[in-house]
Amino acid sequence: MPAFPKLFQNLKTELQKSIVGYDALLTDVLVAIFSGGHVLLEGVPGLGKTFLVRTLSQVIGLEPGRVQCTPDLMPADILGTHIVNENDQGRRMMFFEKGPVFKNLLLVDEINRATPKTQAALLEVMQERCVTTGGERHMLPEPFFVLATQNPMEMEGTYPLPEAQLDRFMFKIKVPFPDLDSLVEISRRTTAFTEPTLNAILTGTDLMKMQRELAEVPVAEPVARYASQLILGTHPETPGVLPEIQRFVSYGASPRGLQSLIKGARVWAAVHGSTAVSTDDIRAIAHVSLRHRIILNFEGEAQQIKVDDIITKVLDQVKTPAQKAS
């Protein structure tokens, strides 16, 4: 896809009319969208996570939906519910009133404030892209993405996401605090009366067509084997893993983590003009793909071990095909 790098850059340029900085974050979010995956954004309040989703929907031409999570939020508030209404003949019938999930780009704001029952309602939505209620199956519009946000600082009144829920997110992206120059630019842009006009660079149909084309970017067997070895390197029961993995990790990355590595690396390779996936592409997205899939044990939590540091050590330990050949 020779035109893809330019298109990708045009998308970022359009987004950065409204979003200051966050070059790496925008790249990761767009890689996930072109891969067809969901994204979990983690950062303290006020960093523009919600604004990012609104801006994305404008630039990519997707219909946005929003769920503001609170402890009293019920599954029907997200998925929809059956109501009694009159049809054209005046008869009372049961109709399904669709919830906010029936949009192309769903923002689930502060997802860890929803109860486990409500969080579980999103499992089928994220994996199968449908809603089953009252014995009926309702398909979601295509394309469909979930971008969820959570605040890592305030734990009171929250319900940590279970492993099964976390695993359905393709990437977990940490939203950093802006640097000095970015803060100055934010103060200049956001205190004016007018907002920049954003243009839609893509449509949903264009996006799905590109997703199909990107899925054809070849992955050689040695590269796929390298990605698989990275996954096994996060499991404490695998022979020869790092001592830190054996001591501090309870569960390693799942096969979905491998899928995220391969899918994301395909898009990453296309963004940089490559015609095939390399181990460098795998390594470039390893942290965002795996950081939410490696579960620390009690000792790891007590010693405040950073999962990103563990992933870095795994990347250093597992040899690439080129390193093995030398």
Alpha-carbon 243 to chain mean position? 30
Same domain, 90 and 183: yes
Q: How many domains does the structure of the chain reveal? A: 2
The domain of 293 spans 213-319
Domain endpoint, select from 205, 233, 259: 205
Q: Are residues 185 and 234 in the same domain?
A: no
On whether residue 86 sits in a domain, the answer given is: yes
Q: Which residues pair with 39 in a beta bridge?
A: 147, 171
Of 144, 171, 205, the position where a domain reaches its end is 205
Q: Is 315 helix (H, G, I), strand (E, B) or coil?
A: helix
What average pLDDT does the segment 51-72 reach? 85
**Assigned token pair, 7:** 């298109």
- Residue 155: the pLDDT is 65
Q: Which of 15-19, 36-40, 219-223 has the lowest mean pLDDT?
A: 15-19
Q: Is the distance from CB of 25 to CB of 175 less than 8 angstroms?
A: yes
Q: Which of 27-31, 71-75, 197-201 has the lowest mean pLDDT?
A: 197-201
Query: Looking at residue 181, what is its pLDDT?
Result: 80
Question: Residue 166: which residues within 8 A CB-CB, separation 6 or more?
Answer: 40, 172, 292, 293
Nearest CA among 78, 49, 75 for reference residue 66: 78
147 with 229, same domain: the answer is no
Instruction: Name which of 129, 175, 171 is nearest 152 in CA terms.
Output: 175
Q: Which of the two residues, 284 and 185, has the higher pLDDT score?
A: 284
What global pTM score does this model have? Answer: 0.87
Q: Given pLDDT bands bounded at 50, 70 and 90, which one contains residue 154?
A: low
Q: Tell me, yes or no, whether 186 and 297 share the same domain.
A: no
Are both 176 and 221 inside the same structural domain?
A: no
Spacing of C-alpha 287 from chain mean position: 12
